[in-house]
Each structure stands twice: as structure tokens, then as C-alpha cells.
Amino acid sequence: MRVAIIGMGTAGVSILRQLEAHSYFSELDIDVYDDPQNMGQGVPFQNDSAQLLINLPSKDMSLNAHDASEFFNWYETQNQFKFDNATYLPRFVFGHYMKSYLEKFNQQYSNIHLITEKATEMYLEQGYEENARIQYFVCTNHQQEACRQYDYVFLTVGTMAYHDPYHLKGLKGYIPSPYPTYETLNEVDSTDDIAIIGTGLSSLDVIRYVVKHHPNLPITATSRHGELPSVRGNMIDITLRHITKENFESILRSHFGVVPLESMIRLFKQECEDYNIPLQELINRKVGDPIKDLKYDLAHPEILGVFQSILETIKENMNWIWNSLSLQDQEVFMKKYMPILKANSNPMPPRTARLLIEEISAGHVVIKKDLADVQYKNETYIFKYHNQVEPDYFNVVINATGPKTQLKDLDDDDAFIIDIANRQIVQPHPMGGIQIVPETNQVISPRHGTLPHLIAIGQITNGINQARNGVNMIVRQSVQAVKSLYDFHEQIR
């Protein structure tokens, strides 16, 4: 059976690892696609500054669904990278861990073929005979002769390009993506004033790098709300007792096949009560002063860690939770509750928080809220705020707003996704990404219906897999996706 994996970051390598573990692996002929730079590492874990840390403890992150400490054990046994404090390792180290498996498999197996080019198009063909199977053609370099035929395809294309909310892409001094950070200052003069749009995790990466390598400080990080991510507390193992499939199934039967949002929130509050979480206090703990907010989190690692652990466990189960809600309730959740979930999940390492306190206190970093607009005039960026009469002026702007989620917002940086949407192979989900079957990650095409042998995993599925694109969650999706492939393979052998 001919198999393609399009994109070899976290999801792509996870799929390959799951394929390799099966006894039928030798009967597959597998092509993997990505450019040379990202092959095996992906964009989030590409080679970059050692100051960019994974926001999970090293012992809690792994591509092995059965061994959460595999990455840390790999780090301990290798000799290429060594750090004094390995509790939170640099992100690029995880990328080399992933790449080590791809390189090992490539050397060990003749049925794996690395195609160091981006896929540019994909199209489908189906014969007219009864029960004819769809064949998938993946192309590179926009050439018909560069198309290869497959029985099964995994769409693991990684994150979509970053938002450009003020339409600045292409202007002098505008850096559309913060990664790799060690290249962000290549065209920046030592006297330039720098602003960062965004105050999330990506902006923290930029801050950590720029304050160490740019002499003209302070740098300003700004957004509408001006809130920094929370600080990771002491995480614990959580067993959900109220937000369970059994309770959801009972509610589904009595509410016409959906779980009302208020029922889900009620169950969530019961989970918090079981663990003595002061919910309202934690939700409303931020006072708008970055230093005070960071110090609060650092001073409350126990209770904050329990709260974060509950949210992380809910995220791990978000596939059946999220897709039990009506579309209307999903929209309400996105407006009312998703900001709370985002503010308290994906937290920064404590040492990043301490560094930020130090840099803000020293006047090297300024965090501002109420950003209203950014304009460009006479090679200068003009930042206007709702709470400030006079604008700020900058020579350089680094975009750290995070990746796009809606297909309608994509541009040439996501040409492959635009291509397969244009061919009606995929269609947009109203909450973001593309339509898939929640339980199987099978793509739902507006032209062909459900495509059982086209599987999408990762940020491209964010509308269905809301808040489920962390490494560990992608690994779990990969396990199920590969099981489906081998179930199909057994049928046709």
C-alpha cells in the first residue's frame, strides 16, 4: 500500500513512529514530504536560540504514547546537547529528538522515502466501477510529472502562517514571523526601536532573544489586552469525575443530541470544587500590572498547578467535549470561556517569569495594552492606543500574533492548503481549520464526502480539535489514525 505523509513536524514524525511499530509496516511504501530545513523537526522545534524553552517540563513531553519520559531519557543519553538546567529544555532539542527517529528509520528501512520538497498540489481520481477506491496524487514543484499516486494520505502540514491583523506584510521593517528568532535581527540596525505585536508565548520567545542581542532598549510588546501567559504551577495527575463520557451521554439523550453549554460549565465547576479550587479568585486574579500578575503566579504554584492540571486534562478530552456542543454554544464558548482557557493553559516556565520580572523592572521591556491600530508612514510604524492620546513610533515590528485559524484568511504562505480547498478536497469548519470526522480525523470533502483514507492531524483541524494541538495530544491522535490505516490494510490484503 502506498502512503504519503505531507509535513514532517510533530504530527508527521508521530505518524511514522506509529506506522513503524506495526507488524505490517514492511508492506507499506511510504513517502514523506517536507522542505530540507523542517524535515523531521517542523517549524515550532526548528533550530533556534537556546533561550527558547519548551513550556512543558522535559520529563512530561514525548512522542511515545506509552512513555512520557522518553524525550528526557533520549536527552540524557545523547552527547550533542547538554544544559545545566534540564527541567525545561530548549525547543530545538526536542526537534533533534524527533529528527533522530526520522534519520534512524530512513537508514533502517528501504520502504521510507524522504522527499525534501514541499507538496504544492494534491488531486483525487476515482474510477467509475462499483466500489472503486479513490486514489490520491501528491505533486511538487507545480509539475504534473512530479505527481505521485497513493492509497492513503496523512495531512500533517503543521501550523498555518501568522496573522497579519494590520496588513503590514511586505513593508520595510516588518518581520511577519518571529521564528527562527536568531534571524529576526538580521536586517535590524542597532539604533532601531522595536515593537512586538502580541503578548502571548511567541512574544516571550522574541523578548528573551531580543533583550540579549539588541542594544537599543526598551522593546515594547503590545496587544489589545496586554496580558502575559500564566506561569506553570506544580502540576498533578487529575481524574475527571464529572466531565465524563458517561455524564455527557446521559445529557445528550435528554437534550436532543447536544450538551448545553451551561451543563458543561456546571460539571466543570464541580470538578473545581472537588479539588478546592477558588475558581473566581483564579479567573479574576490578574490586575493589569505584569509584574504583580507574574509574582502572584510564582507565589501560588500549588493551587495554580491544580487548576492548570484540570484544564490540561479537559483539553486532552476536548475532542468529545467540544463536539458535544451545538455550534451556537461553541460560538458562545469561544467568546466567553476560551479567553479563560487560553490565559491559564500553555503556561510559561517559572524561570521565564522571573526573567520577565527582571527585564521589566530594569526598564528593558514594556508591556502595553489597548492597542487600537498600527499604521505605516514615512518608513515609521505608528502605534495607536485606546488609552493613550499620543501614539508610539517604531522602526521595526516583529509579529508574534500567532498562527491563523480560518481558511478565508490564508495567503500565499499557505498555498498548499488554499490549493486543496480550491479543488474542494477540504472545506472550512466555521470554528476554524477544516472539516474532519472528530473521532477519526478523516477529512470531510464538499465534493467527495468523507474521505476515509485522507487523515488530517494538527493545527489545520483546530475547529474540531479545539485546544488539542499540543505534542502529547497529537501523539494520541496519531495512534488512532494509524490503527485505522492498518484496519483498512487488513481488509485489502
For strand 219-222 and strand 365-368, is the pairing parallel, antiparallel, or unpaired? parallel
Tell me what pLDDT residue 25 has. 94
Q: Which residue has the cell 515594547?
A: 220
Does the pLDDT value for residue 470 go beyond 90?
no
Residue-wise pLDDT tens digits, 343-354: 898 899 999 999
* Amino acid sitting at position 177: S
| CATH 3.50.50.60 in the chain, residue ranges | 2-161+404-492, 174-229+349-399
462, 473 Cβ separation under 8 angstroms: no
Mean pLDDT of 444-470: 90
Residue-wise pLDDT tens digits, 107-134: 999 999 999 999 999 999 986 666 678 9
Q: 2-161+404-492: CATH homologous superfamily? A: FAD/NAD(P)-binding domain (3.50.50.60)
Query: For the chain, what percent of residues have pLDDT higher than 90?
Result: 77
140, 127 Cβ separation under 8 angstroms: no
Residue by residue, what is the 3-state secondary structure of the chain?
CEEEEECCCHHHHHHHHHHHCCCCHHHCEEEEECCCCCCCCCCCCCCCCCCCECCCCHHHCCCCCCCCCHHHHHHHHCCCCCCCCCCCCEHHHHHHHHHHHHHHHHHHCCCEEEECCCEEEEEEEECCCCCCCEEEEEEECCCHHHCEEECEEEECCCCCCECCCCCCCCCCCEECCCCCHHHCCCCCCCCCCEEEECCCHHHHHHHHHHHHHCCCCCEEEECCCCCCCCECCCCCCCCCCCCCHHHHHHHHHHCCCCCCHHHHHHHHHHHHHHCCCCHHHHHCCCCCCHHHHHHHHHHCHHHHHHHHHHHHHHHHCHHHHHCCCCHHHHHHHHHHCHHHHHHHCCCECHHHHHHHHHHHHCCCEEEECCEEEEEEECCEEEEEECCEEEEEEECEEEECCCECCCHHHCCHHHHHHHHHHHCCCCCECCCCCECECCCCCEEEECCCEEEEEEEECCHHHCCCCCCCCCHHHHHHHHHHHHHHHHHHHHHHC
Tell me what pLDDT residue 146 has. 78
Residue-wise pLDDT tens digits, 346-402: 899 999 999 999 999 999 999 999 999 999 999 999 999 998 999 999 999 999 998
The b/e string for 154-180 (b: 16+ C-beta within 10 A; e otherwise) is: bbbbbbbbbbbbbebbeeebbbbbbbb
Does the pLDDT value for residue 489 go beyond 80?
no
Identify the bridge partners of residue 197 per DSSP, sorted by sequence position: 222, 399
Peptide bond before residue 218 is cis, with ω within 30 degrees of 0: yes
Q: Which residue has the cell 517540563?
A: 57
- Per-residue pLDDT band at 176 (split at 50, 70, 90): very high
Peptide bond before residue 180 is cis, with ω within 30 degrees of 0: yes
What radius of gyration do the chain's Cα atoms show? Answer: 23
Distance of CA 392 to the CA centre of its chain: 31
* Amino acid sitting at position 37: Q
Query: For the chain, what percent of residues have pLDDT higher than 70?
Result: 99
| Cα–Cα dist 30/7, whole Å | 13
Residue-wise pLDDT tens digits, 184-241: 888 899 999 999 999 999 999 999 999 999 999 999 999 999 999 999 999 999 999 9
Alpha-carbon distances, residue 114 vs 4, 8, 22, 356, 491 (angstroms): 10, 10, 20, 41, 28
Residue-wise pLDDT tens digits, 236-255: 999 999 999 999 999 999 99
| Cα–Cα dist 208/190, whole Å | 17
CATH of domain 174-229+349-399: 3.50.50.60
- Per-residue pLDDT band at 141 (split at 50, 70, 90): confident
Q: C-alpha cell of 138? A: 501528491
- Per-residue pLDDT band at 143 (split at 50, 70, 90): confident
The number of beta carbons lying within 10 Å of the beta carbon of residue 476 is 15
Tell me what pLDDT residue 129 has. 64
